[in-house]
Amino acid sequence: MVTPSPGNGLALSLSGIRHGYTIGGDFTAVVSGVTLNVAAGEFVALLGPSGCGKSTLLRLVAGLEPPHDGEILADGLPVHGPDPDRILMFQDPTLYPWRNVRQNVALSQDISGKRDNAAIDQVLSLVGLNGFERAWPHQLSGGMAQRAALARALINRPKLLLLDEPLGKLDALTRLTMQTELHRLWKERGFTAIMVTHDVEEALFLATRIVTLSTRPARILSDIQVDLPFHRHRDDPQVLQLRRDILTQLGHRDDW
């Protein structure tokens, strides 16, 4: 088992979460009865078919929307709204085009009104963006933009990082680099991470635990501890066996 630096992560508990949207007068359930406990410092991958409600689950944990039913506890306290301790990172970098890289990274400091230039410098070098501070977002490549978004998310040392397919739109090679990067950051900072993905390999490379979800409305199909040491190799027989199990679980045994 991996033991990240204690105290930097946040323990999360979801009990009986149900959520949905009213579209044209009809209620459509998106999440139905999800109960999940995440210990501080864990890296949980949520795997499931696209459109199954994984992203909605992250929005609920981030506090952007209150759940229809059920309760979310962060370190034992109910979640009532967004909090800088729980940062959500999106599939798109969503950098503000009118702010340069440095200003984008400093966003949360501008919101709280506490400017700390040393912290900005530190997090910029953490993600390897020194020298690009003054670049405008449209000048960045996809990978660099996502690094900037990562720096923006990490600057205030959040205890929980919610990742909504953050590498989904990157090219295959950049994605490999960013996975290694993400793993390193998680080890260094010791935050709790919940990552939505539909890439089984990515989940196996990064996560300490993989939770598979059903098609919409989402419920938990399986909850697998990945007790393999890091760095995992993608052609390790144990990794391949897990991958086969998970794909079977998701109903893709014959497609692989």
Partner 1 sequence: MSGTDMAFSGQAITGTASASPAGLRPVLLPWLAGPAWLAAALVTHYWPDADDFPDTNLLAILFGVVGIALLIGAALRLLTVRAPWLIVLGLGLGAWEIAQAKLIALPRPFFGTPQDLLDVFITDWHRLGLSLLHSLGLLAVGYAAGSLSGIAVGIGLGRSKRFRYWTHPILRAIGPLPPVALLPLAFVLIPSSWLAGEALMALASGFPAAILTWSGIAAVDPAYYDVARTMGARERFLTFRVALPAAMPQIFVGLFMGLGASFAMLIVAEMLGVKAGLGFYMQWAQGWAAYPNMYAALFVMSAMCTGLITLLFRVRDRILVWQKDGLKW
Residues in the chain: 256
* Rounded CA Rg of the chain: 18
Instruction: In angstroms, give the least distance from the CB of 181 to partner 1.
Output: 20
Sheet arrangement for strand 86-89: 86-89, 160-164, 192-197, 43-47, 209-213, 220-225
Site for partner 1 contains 97 (CB under 8 A):
yes
What mask, x for binding partner 1 by CB under 8 A, covers residues 36 to 65?
A: -----------------------x--xxx-
Q: How far is the C-alpha of 134 from the C-alpha of 68, rounded, in Å?
A: 43
- Please tell me whether residue 99 binds partner 1 under the rule CB under 8 A: yes
Shortest separation between residue 64's beta carbon and partner 1, angstroms: 6
Q: Helices (DSSP H) in 8-159: which residue ranges?
A: 54-62, 101-105, 107-112, 117-126, 142-154
Within 136-175, the residues that bind partner 1 by CB under 8 A are 136-138, 152, 156
Give least dist CB 103 to partner 1, A: 10
Q: How far is the CB of 153 from partner 1 (least distance, A)?
A: 9
| Residue keyed to tokens 């950098």 | 95
Contact set with partner 1 (CB under 8 A) = 59, 62-64, 82-84, 86-88, 90, 92, 94, 96-100, 107-108, 110-112, 136-138, 152, 156
